[in-house]
Structure 1
């Protein structure tokens, strides 16, 4: 699909990945509508920090993905929908699973129903590597079994299956992008990389973390954004689930060591029980196969391997250590 001349709706545009994706689409000259969560502060989330030249080209729609009427209003006149709006914090899903069902499953249903009624040309639905649970084999291909090891991952499995059901039942042009662990500027401190960086940047020498042994496949946000755009453009992606991953596995403990080295600090790691997942809920190992993305999308990570990981971390550290950015994070408390 050629995106030129298409009206593109980005849901979750106020969030971490969504704001980066929205900005990149505008920079590429696309016609973009940003769906942000309505609030009484009139905040557009991370889009409030976007350059004026980007905001001047954006149409903003404030609403709630759980509201079918508002979703349909937002989608009117749009040709392509990139659906990122979701609740994603795993610890909070233990506390309030009902809200994850409403937002992630019912919210996705609202998108699919409206897309069907409005004859939208392409829907890119956002999945997550968490749906795989602890790897049964590596690298993880798209054929890996799905395992709902947290209410969050279970809600995303449900949303993914709804999207595929609408493709099979109604021939709705849906593609599912499945990013592995994305990191970069603006990420919430509930995620491990910002947690490490912000604690060190705040001058703490004893860093509070959860489990150090699990492994992850980290993706720098620029690579993830490029993956979204590649999926949107690819006709071959319709009806497919596609991993976006670096194909590089690293443990949380090794990640701490690399960050401390890049920041030139010696630190002590303290285990904080509040940050530990329930034993059977912890995803012990994630390592992506990105062969399908290379084949169907001609996408591959720019920030791959240990050198790419260090480069992405360096750019992330540079952003977080800016006092104006660091001041927006509560470094002395655990972010659920």
Structure 2
């Protein structure tokens, strides 16, 4: 396609997979990465050989409106993923989440309005729902800010949607549930379990194991973003989830089964959220995504989760990949 796409947060877990998928599908792609003195492009430094050199890189800071505007010049569609997402870190550094998630989003939508960008896909999170009041969770579920992180994402979502309502910006909100896969940070539970087990530990440390989550393999999340980028839908919020819930404890046991080992789970107090901040249950309704986009997860249900976990474990088994992680250290 001739239209040029900008991906913010392109150096991160989902963003790097998204850039690769866009390039493979023939999109003219610009990757917005976080400026640093090492000239690191994050995970894009390790982009697959078939996409290296086939995307443009812009190094900047999503919190800076001038850099954001410059990155968005000549862009048709913005896929906005840049955010701070670690919940424990948001407990002691909430101001950085306001600056990155809310102000960063304002910078994107303001520049999109001023520059005449045709389409923006803003990334939300299932954490904005808080503990489920009903399941499966539809897009009409109440929003509950149970952590500073989720509160800032609610604020960012509302800023984004307000620019559609007030100014007619062609904007849609993508709301992925718990995405997992290769390259994910060990602050997330699935890489935490995998890295500990592959490091030889059989008594692994976790926080609460009773909450349930709806895990969505990264390729499915990426397919949802691309479907939204190609659609004309605007002013909508759309869940991307597998429509399957599983407890953290059962997820850890399934990972051990995929790896082919036993495990014991040890409760680690520093990994526990404050009681009222813990999201006890997440289970996505993906009916809207099916109806409006024809999107369906290729890794749905327990069998699909097992297949996605096997792909993820295979990536972590590579010694070069596993060496990037500090398996014995709690990552916030």
For these two proteins, the number of residue pairs brought into alignment is 332
Measured against aligned partners, the alpha-carbon deviations of 1:97-146 in whole angstroms (never above 9, x if no partner) come to: 00000000000000010000000000000000000000000000000000
- Residues in 2 aligned to 1:103 and 1:47: alpha-carbon distance in whole angstroms: 21
Contact 1:35 1:74 in 2 (8 A): yes
Alignment partner, residue 223 of structure 1: 220
Find the aligned partners of 2:17 and 2:38 in 1 and give their Cα distance. Answer: 22
Residue 51 of structure 1 deviates from its aligned partner by 2.6
Asked whether 1:13 is paired with 2:10, we answer: yes
User: Residue 66 of structure 2 is aligned with which of 66, 69, 80?
Assistant: 69
8 Å CA contact 1:234, 1:296 repeated in 2 = no
Are residues 1:94 and 2:102 paired? Answer: no
Task: Name the counterpart of 2:20.
Answer: 23
1:181 aligns with 2:178: yes
| Conserved? CA contact 1:247–1:289, under 8 Å | yes
Contact 1:14 1:37 in 2 (8 A): yes
1:9-43 alpha-carbon deviations (Å, 9 max, x no partner): 00000000000000000011110000000000100
Separation in structure 2 between the aligned mates of residue 24 and residue 53 of structure 1, nearest angstrom: 11
Does 215-224 or 226-235 show the bigger shift?
226-235
1:254 is aligned, of 250, 256, 260, to: 250
Given candidates 203, 209, 233, the residue that maps to 2:230 is 233
Q: TM-score, normalised by structure 1?
A: 0.98
User: Cα RMSD over matched residues?
Assistant: 0.6
Give the distance between the partners of 1:219 and 1:316, measured in 2 at CA. Answer: 12
Distance 1:22 1:108 in 2: 19
Distance (whole Å) between structure 1 residues aligned to residue 208 and residue 54 of structure 2 = 43
* Matched residue SS, 1:33: strand
SS at match of 1:8: strand
Q: Which of 257, 261, 281 is the matching residue for 1:265?
A: 261
Deviations 1:216-236 (A, max 9, x none): 00000000000000111111x
* Corresponding residue for residue 196 of structure 1: 193
- The residue number in structure 1 matching 2:291 is 295
Instruction: Find the aligned partners of 1:188 and 1:290 in 2 and give their Cα distance.
Output: 25
**Matched residue, 1:280:** 276
Task: Identify the match of residue 54 of structure 1 among 28, 40, 51.
Answer: 51
Counterpart of 2:78 in structure 1 is: 81
Unaligned runs of 5+ in 1: none
Deviation digits for residues 125-169 of structure 1 (CA, Å, limit 9, x no counterpart): 000000000000000000000000000000000000001110000
Distance 2:92 2:48 in 1: 36
For residues 235-271 of structure 1, what are the alpha-carbon distances to aligned partners after superposition, in whole Å with 9 as ceiling and x for unaligned? 1x21100000000010001101101111111111110
Contact 1:129 1:286 in 2 (8 A): yes
Secondary structure in 1 matching 2:160? helix
CA distance in 1, matches of 2:185, 2:91: 18
- For structure 2, the residue ranges without an aligned partner over 5 or more in a row are none
Q: How many angstroms apart in 1 are the aligned matches of 2:160 and 2:118?
A: 14
Q: In structure 2, the residue corresponding to 1:139 is in which secondary structure?
A: coil
**In 1, distance between residues paired with 2:211 and 2:139?**
21
